[in-house]
Structure 1
Amino acid sequence: MIPPTIPDLVTRAAAHPFLGEHLVMGQGVHSDIALARFEDIQLASAYEPIFDISVHALAQSLSSGAEGVDRFGDELGFQAITYQLGAAPFEVFDPFDRIGNDQELVALDRMSRALHAINFFGAQRHGLLFLRVHERLLKSVKYDHGLHFSTVLMSFGLNPSRVVIELPAAAVAHKTFLGYLTRSYQHYGFKVAGNLSNAGQILSVSETARLDFIKMDAASALRDATVKPLVGYAGRLRIPLIFNRVMDEAQFLALQQYDVRFVQGPLFTAHYHDRAV
């Protein structure tokens, strides 16, 4: 089967009343990507790589300078980032800050995830697509988390198993809620990642909340000297641990001392601007 292109997926999105109203192909220099119209702005997609640094080539490339990013080795996948068209792809911008109504937030969250999926899969990118879910959406949708998005993806001809739903730390902090969310999203075909606000939150992760990935802020873990115990505990759980927001080579080299496998952050994304859509 020939994989769908971005124009193909935008056409399929037109069959969904809400998505068809907001998702369009770009124009001019942006004619090869999908955009989303939200109020008076246009939203686009950028993708932050998540690297597997157990690949020997990565250590070699960084030792010769971060300009060796193309030789880092295999990416586990990419985290989608919403940015405002006309701004830098990784410039901080949160359209959700502009919304007070929960139903509008649910609509925007669904629109953003569809946009990122179209630009990711339509460009035939490899690996997993990590998509953040807003905390307020988790509270606004009462049950069957993942049903709507799974239905949308399958109508596009896309496989939910390549999508990782990334839960905020506030959800991970509540063990029972985390277990429910994880089982619900996995039931509809997704993988699930949970963000930790501190090292102690990893204790909320257990057999009742069998996450596919755990994410932790690299600077916080290094500052609190919790990298080693986090790596050990995640290893016992057999859940891959991703250290994100790696800012510089000093942090990267410090993480390498503790058998860290997966990393992401500004150190790597600076070299991916030209690969973002």
Structure 2
Amino acid sequence: MSFPVLNQYLARLSDQSTASTSIRLDPQGRALGRFFNCTMTSAFQPVRELHRGEVVAYEGLARSVSSADEGLSLWKLLDHAASDDESVELDRLCRMLHAINFFRQEDSGDADLYLNVHDRLLSAVSSNHGYAFQRILDALGLPIARIVLLLPPVTAQQGWLLNYVADNYRRNGFRFAVSAGSAREGLNLLERVRPDVVRLDARYLQDEEGIVALLAQSARQNAGVVFKRLETRESLQALQRIGEAAGAPLLAQGYLLDAPRTLLRDAIREQGLGAAA
């Protein structure tokens, strides 16, 4: 799928004599951003439907620029050095970079793009969360319907903040995901926040009966459940048992299936590996 407004923007960026932005293009056409004298770009880790291995979404991740590999994760290093205002700036820069680098690739197909919203942004932004990013997407002609914002975990005392932020993102047209520490917490979040996606850590699957109940409730609410950090074959086997008990396909993401990559077509070539892992 082509995005004409985005292509026009990229053409202007490629002309360094007229470009006046913190974002530029490298010779391969990747969008690069600068923050604290660090140059960063995007890598994407697929979310797969386990049985068929089909890619249904990608999570955008900030990486350093490297000609030898996919780069190093920069977020924790830069975020710890930033003030609240600078952290908000970094968060928005990363999401804009990921959106550009994702939708400029024709291999994005119909997949969704998962974008992290980091914890300091929740309290640092006073009102109308999502409005600034929604305007950027509109200006670039990019489909907000394919964006899923990944909200960070919050403490029990911050429950009001999660409700407030989620409502703001929903009002600005975004779908959003929440992270749950357990199946019980996931059920509570489905009832209280009504997310579009619940994310569970695939390293902690002991409550298989509770997870089956979560899958059933999420299906009734037309919400997805993604098992993140799938890294071992033991976790994969547990997910396969859960999928059989639930009678439903499962969505999973992790290094057992894929490493983050700059080019989406590298993940497409490996279509089906999730089923065989």
TM over 0.5: yes
Q: Counterpart in 1 of 2:272?
A: none
Pick closer, same or farther for the CA change 1:274–1:165 going to 2, 3 Å.
closer
Alignment of 1:198-209 (within 5 A): 198-209=182-193
Distance in 1 between residues matched to 2:257 and 2:6, nearest whole Å: 26
Q: Counterpart in 1 of 2:105?
A: 123
Question: TM-score scaled by structure 1?
Answer: 0.80
Matching residue within 58, 63, 75 for 1:78: 58
Q: Counterpart in 2 of 1:195?
A: 179
Q: Can you list the C-alpha shifts for 1:48-82, whole angstroms capped at 9, x where unaligned? A: 0001124xxx3xxxxxxxxxxxxx2x212000010
Distance in 2 between residues matched to 1:12 and 1:143, nearest whole Å: 32
- Name the % identity: 27
**AA paired with 1:204?**
N
Q: Displacement, 1:135?
A: 0.3
Q: Displacement, 1:152?
A: 0.6
Q: Displacement, 1:21?
A: 2.5
Q: Displacement, 1:207?
A: 3.9
Question: TM-score scaled by structure 2?
Answer: 0.80
Tell me whether 1:233 sits opposite 2:222 in the alignment. no
Contact 2:150 2:178 in 1 (8 A): yes
Q: Tell me which moved more, 99-108 or 85-94.
A: 85-94
Q: Can you list the C-alpha shifts for 1:142-186, whole angstroms capped at 9, x where unaligned? A: 111111100110000112111000011126874332222222111
**AA paired with 1:23?**
I
| Root-mean-square deviation (Å) | 2.8
Distance in 1 between residues matched to 2:139 and 2:252, nearest whole Å: 33
Distance in 1 between residues matched to 2:193 and 2:151, nearest whole Å: 12
Contact 1:9 1:122 in 2 (8 A): no
Matching residue within 85, 107, 114 for 1:103: 85
Q: Counterpart in 2 of 1:133?
A: 117
Q: Displacement, 1:227?
A: 3.5
Distance in 2 between residues matched to 1:78 and 1:212, nearest whole Å: 16
Distance in 1 between residues matched to 2:22 and 2:7, nearest whole Å: 14
Distance in 2 between residues matched to 1:241 and 1:235, nearest whole Å: 10
Distance in 2 between residues matched to 1:273 and 1:110, nearest whole Å: 19
Matching residue within 17, 31, 34 for 1:34: 31
Q: Displacement, 1:248?
A: 2.6
User: Where does structure 2 lack aligned partners over 5 or more consecutive residues?
Assistant: 244-248, 268-277
Tell me whether 1:158 sits opposite 2:142 in the alignment. yes
Q: Counterpart in 2 of 1:213?
A: 197
User: Where does structure 1 lack aligned partners over 5 or more consecutive residues?
Assistant: 59-71
Give the secondary structure class of the aligned counterpart of 1:267: coil
Distance in 2 between residues matched to 1:196 and 1:269, nearest whole Å: 22
Q: Identify the structure with bigger relative contact order (alpha carbons < 8 Å, sequence gap 6+).
A: 2
> How many pairs were matched up?
250
Pick closer, same or farther for the CA change 1:102–1:271 going to 2, 3 Å.
closer
Q: Displacement, 1:12?
A: 7.0
Distance in 2 between residues matched to 1:196 and 1:245, nearest whole Å: 13
Distance in 1 between residues matched to 2:39 and 2:260, nearest whole Å: 24
Distance in 2 between residues matched to 1:271 and 1:50, nearest whole Å: 11
Q: Displacement, 1:209?
A: 1.0
